[in-house]
Structures are given as structure tokens and as C-alpha cells.
Amino acid sequence: MFPEFAAPQTPKRPHSVTQVGRTRIDDYAWLKDDNWRAVMKKPAALSGDIRAVLNAENAYTAAMFAGTKNLQAEIFAEMKGRLKDDDSSVPSPDGPYEYGHKFRPGDQHGVYIRQERGKPESQTVILDADALAKDAAYFDLGCVVHSDDHAILAYAIDKQGSEKYTVTLINLETGAPLNVTIENTTGDVVWSQDHATLFWVERDENERPSTVFRQNIKTPGSKPEQVFKEEDPGFFVGIGQSDNSSFIEINTHNHTTSETWLLDAPDAEPVLFCLRRDGVEYDLHEHGDYFYILTNEGGATDFKVMRAPITARGVSTWEAVITHRPGVLILGLETYAGHMTRIERADALPRIVVRDMSTGDEHSIEFDEEAYSLGLSGGYEYDTPVMRFSYSSPTTPGQVFDYDMATRERTLRKTREVPSGHNPDDYHCERLSITARDGASVPVTLIYKAGLNKDGAAPLLLYGYGSYGITIQAGFRTSILSLVDRGFVYAIAHIRGGMAKGYQWYLDGKMDKKHKTFDDFVDAGNALCEAGYTSRGRLVAHGGSAGGLLVGAAVNQDPGLFAGVIAAVPFVDVLNTMSDESLPLTPPEWPEWGNPLISETDYDRIAAYSPYDNVTARNYPAMLITGGLTDPRVTYWEPAKWAAKLRDHQTGDAPVLLKINMDAGHQGESGRYDSLKETAMEYAFAVTVTGAG
């Protein structure tokens, strides 16, 4: 176990908050810097008393982990050894060229390359991300997008972790930078078909993506021009292109409602396709004279495909193409000149369906493993019979296929290499269905060493998320093998709040049903104990962001189930965050959680499960809590406040450990190797608290 060091005690400064007739006292509200916006831009602006608390917590955690230094190094070396040092993507064709990404030995971020089509010997580096990241404490590369005439490259960089990206342009022939720099963007840009006009989204004073700009960068003296501004703080703005690149698309959305505006020329004004309606989502895919529309309009809970003439406006012009099938969730759609592909999920397993647009005939691509993940990889080209997809399972390393949609010929383009070696037969993957307390059947994916003796002795790491409809796929993850090889069972609980079993599975785990997300996770853990995969007090719960909310609520509900909890950038101060409309994500997230500023019902519901608000005197298991100082999604004070309150109420001896990355945001350490160090620390924690070998 961990050594015994005196833990820091964060001072209490009681702060009273009254809203909708309810009053709460927050002893640690002061950890939120009044000047938090400035801290996001410049971490040195953090006030001294708050910095002292975070530094003390980091020092304590470092001291407590000192004895695991060798274990962390072993785990890191194992995980690094499973990464191909000079790995590369399969180049994606676009006209006369192919574009891709590769790593040189030792690279953290790699290089972006271009080669003449079918001529790998002509490969050249068009962007050196490792050179750009040199001497940066944090580095994240957003978009890397070339113009359609292959003359200019736009790329975006964030060096704070605050997700505010600076866009730079370079000449692709010479590598010389253009005299254009765009600040305060979301990190995404779109080129218009004139090869000169660039579109991007900027953030407002509350860090929300709200305003679309464009600029003709080839016209001397041109200035950015505002194209669109979203006035509702509850909606975020994004940009894209239609599948055939005929339109620039401006998308504005929250978690349950969307709206699209179209521009058919670089200098055109945006035209509304269909007015937003609460709870209705739609996504456009251009093909010929029609838009094919993926939508839940008309009560299509698991979505359907409609179509409407490109010139039509309003839902009255839509006609059905693929009707709604309850329990078969359509996840995504892509159109090509002769085909349309969609990825859909039924019974918690995905499949790809290909439709011949001239005949309407369909066929599907499926796999026969017990659990697996699939993904459509997209591409630059529209007029092609070939689409690309990826496949993996917990025991099968990732594969990339090119698939001829006309001939149905499947070509394996790449299999992920594991340099240190990997034998799938050494492991067993299993898909279970456990029965939750209300009778629902919850899928759980397991991977463990072949020959596991189900006598309850094995430690188990239970991972979950359970919000926003996000589904954790059963894919190949080399990092978890460091736990499995040490005797762990690794389990993913596909709980309500995600969409493993369709969109209704998501609806059944939000708002007034949110408690079912947490119940499912606890019930899955107890069911795995009853089945002999582990036993109570041998589990480690692991979740990040909204998954941190999950494990925080679960440990409040049943602390004795767990040996430890890993909560990465955890969203745990739900009531306070959803009551602060100045925070970047709060208004867009009211449809997900409710608005406690105006609703007594929402207030009471959130107050009943918010991990921070439900900490009480009890014997908590060991807790490892992480955060990032410049995180705009889950602000640093959430994990800091939670750790302080947990420690103050801890009646047992297990430590509460907090690590705040003072140079990063929501994603933690950047770089393919540096990020493994954080994982190694988490896994060393799991091994230590369970006493695994």
C-alpha cells in the first residue's frame, strides 16, 4: 500500500449560495479563481493562495507515489514497447496526391507527409509537428488541412491546453509561411472550392465557439469577415463541407438539437436549411440533386434517413429513404458518387451497411467476434467506389481495410504492429449481460488472461462513462495489457447514458433517469463479483470527465465495493457548475443535466447525485484524482474541491490523492509517449491498491 505521510488540509472558507429557495454551504468555493478566464490564457495569473494549495497537493501525491517509481517505469516501458516507433498511417488519396502521417523513431507528435499517388518513393514532409512542439510544455495540433488545389496547408496549434488554437498557413511547395495568422479559433478550418477562402470558428468571451469568419487569403489586404454568429449561449457552432464539397456547412447545436446553414459559394450568405426544433437533430449528406438527412425527426428515436431536394427548405419536403427501426441505431452516414454507407449498432454491436444508390440494394459488413469496434474512416474523394474502414477487438490489434463497394472486395491495408509481441490466444474476450436492479440487461465487455480461475481472487478494473450518448467501443488498447498481464480482469460497463443499445439507452440514463447510469455501474461491479471474476474490495473504478462523475457517484453509493477509484479530470461539482452560466459548457449542457438556476426539480435531482455535494463521513477507498489547470471543460477547481472535501470526511486510512497538471488542460499530457506516463501512474495506483503482482 501507500506510505503514511501527513496529507495537506485545505482551509475552509464557508460560502453560502441560495437559489430556487434552496441554500447550500460550499467550504471550498474559494478555490475557483475570480480571474479564471485569465488563468486559462496565462496560468501564471493563478492567485497565490490557490497555487499554494495545488502545489501542496501535487507534492503530497508525488511523495505518496515515490515508492511506485520502479513500477511506473516498468509499466511505461511495457506500454511504450507496444508502440511501433516508426508507425505510419495508410496514406489517403486526393487527386494527384496521397496524404498521411507518420512517426520517426522517438517522435512524440510525428510528421505529416504527401506523396504522388501510388509513388511512395516521392514522399515529402509537409509539416513537422515535433519541430513545432519543441520546448513547449504542452502541445496539441488541431486541424491539418490542405486546400483543394494542393497549394496551401492550414494547421492549428494550442500550447496552453485551453483549446484556443492559433491557425497558421504555409505554402505547400516551398514550406514558407504566409502572412496570415488567425487567433482564438476552435482548431478547425474549412477551405472553400475557390482554393483561397478560408472559414473558421472563433470563441466568445465565455470561451464558447459562436462566430464564423472567412477570409480570402490570396487577396492582398483582405480582412476577416464575420459570416455567422450564434446568439443563443446554449448552442455551439461548428463548420464543415458537404460530402461532395459543393457547400460550406455551418452547424449549430446543443446535445439534443441541431440546425444547419449552407453557403453555395465562398462569398455567399448562409441560408437556413431547416429551422431548429427542440429535441430534433439532423445531419446533411449531399448526393446528386438531393440531401440525404440523418435525423430523429418525427419521433425516430434511433434515427432514420430522409431525403430532400437540395433547393428545398423545411421539413415538409423530406421523404423517407430508410425508415426508423427501434433498437437499430444509425450512428453515421457518408455518401459517395455511386454509394451511401452507414454505420449502425444493434444489440451493442456495430455493422457497416453499403447502399447502391442506383438500385437501392444494400449489403452489410459484419464480423464474428464476441465484441469488437468498427469505424468509417472517411476520405478526401467523393467519386470513388472505395471506402475505408477500421476494425479491432479487445484481443485483435487494429486493422484498416479498403473496401470496393461495387465488387465487395476487401483489401487489408494495415494491421497494427505490436513490436514487443502480442498473441491473441493468450487472452480471452467475453461479452456478458448483467441484470441491473430494475431488470434492465446491461452489456459488459471483459478481457483477461486465458485460463482465468473465476474464484474471486483476481483484481478487476471497471471502466465506464455513461453520458452524452457516448459509447465506449470494445476496441484494442495496448495499454490495458499491462494490467491484464498482471492478473487483472479489464471490464467496460456499457451503461445507460451511453448508446450501446440504441438512443433510448441514452435517454434512459439522463435527466430524471440519471441515477440509472450510476446504478448500472454499481450493479455491474457487484454482478462481476457474484460471478467470480473478482470480489468486493478488489475492484478499481476508472472514469474520466463525465466518467469521473460516474465513479464519484458510484463510490458514494457503495464505497465498500472498491479498492480504489481513478477519477481523471472528473466532472463532480455538478450543482455549482450547472449553476454558473459564465462557464463555457454550462448553457449547452442544461439539456443534458437540467438547469438548477430556474428549476427546483432540476436542482433537487442534481443535488441528489452530484459527487461533491454527497460526500459524507464514511470509509472511502483510495482515490486518485487528476485535473488540468487550463482545462476549459472540467475546470481545475472541481477535482481540487472534491479532493479537499473527501479528505475532510474520510473516516478510514485510505489516501485521497490529487494531481493537477499545471501545464495542461482536459487531455492531460501531450505526445504519444508523455501521455503514457499518466497512464502508468494510474495503473501503478490500481496495482498498489489491489496488491496485484
Edge to edge, the sheet with strand 362-365 lists 328-335, 339-346, 349-356, 362-365
CA 11 from centre of chain: 34
Q: C-alpha dihedral over 448, 450, 451, 455, to 10 degrees?
A: 10
Cell numbers for 516, please give them.
Answer: 440509472
Distance between CA atoms of residues 75 and 484, nearest Å: 12
Mean pLDDT score, 533-548: 98
Q: What confidence category does residue 551 fall into, taking pLDDT thresholds of 50, 70 and 90?
A: very high
pLDDT in tens, 481-529: 999 999 999 999 999 999 999 999 999 999 999 999 999 999 999 999 9
Active site residue 324: no
Q: What is the largest CA-CA distance in the chain?
A: 74
pLDDT in tens, 289-336: 999 999 999 999 999 999 999 999 889 999 999 999 999 999 999 999
Identify the pLDDT of residue 693.
64
Within 10 A of 222 (CB to CB), how many other CB atoms are there?
Answer: 14
Q: Read out DSSP for 310-379?
A: TT--SGGG-EEEE---TTEEEEEEEE-SSEEEEEEEETTEEEEEEEETTT--EEEE---SSS-EEEE---
Active site residue 666: yes
The answer to whether 506 touches 301, Cβ cutoff 8 Å, is no
Evaluate if residue 666 carries a pLDDT over 80: no
Identify the pLDDT of residue 131.
97
List the alpha helices (DSSP H) in 5-67. 36-41, 48-64
Instruction: List Cβ neighbours of 571 (8 Å cut-off, separation of 6 or more).
Output: 545, 546, 548, 549, 577, 634, 638
Mean pLDDT score, 175-191: 94
The answer to whether 283 touches 307, Cβ cutoff 8 Å, is no
Q: Are strands 328-335 and 319-322 parallel, antiparallel or unpaired?
A: unpaired
Cell 441514452 belongs to 506
Judge residue 50's burial from the number of C-beta atoms within 10 Å of its C-beta, 0-12 exposed, 13-18 middle, 19 or more buried: buried
Distance between CA atoms of residues 567 and 643, nearest Å: 11
The answer to whether 660 touches 608, Cβ cutoff 8 Å, is no
Which residues, listed in sequence order, are joined to residue 414 by a DSSP beta bridge? 400
Distance between CA atoms of residues 107 and 357, nearest Å: 43
Within 10 A of 557 (CB to CB), how many other CB atoms are there?
Answer: 15
Mean pLDDT score, 364-373: 91
Task: From the candidates 258, 610, 631, 670, give the one annotated as an active-site residue.
Answer: 631
Q: What confidence category does residue 347 fall into, taking pLDDT thresholds of 50, 70 and 90?
A: confident
Mean pLDDT score, 354-376: 94
Identify the pLDDT of residue 686.
98
Identify the pLDDT of residue 221.
87
Percent of the chain residues topping a pLDDT of 90: 93
Evaluate if residue 36 carries a pLDDT over 90: yes
Evaluate if residue 41 carries a pLDDT over 90: no
Mean pLDDT score, 81-104: 97
Mean pLDDT score, 341-367: 94
Distance between CA atoms of residues 202 and 667, nearest Å: 20
- Prediction pTM value: 0.95
Which residues, listed in sequence order, are joined to residue 16 by a DSSP beta bridge? 25
> Which residue segments constitute the domains of the chain, with CATH numbers given?
15-80+421-690 (3.40.50.1820), 97-127 (no CATH), 136-272 (2.130.10.120)
Task: From the candidates 545, 579, 610, 670, give the one annotated as an active-site residue.
Answer: 545
Return mean pLDDT, the chain.
96
Angle at 508 between CA 503 and CA 511, to 5 degrees: 110
Rg (CA), the chain: 25
Mean pLDDT score, 75-83: 97
Mean pLDDT score, 56-73: 97
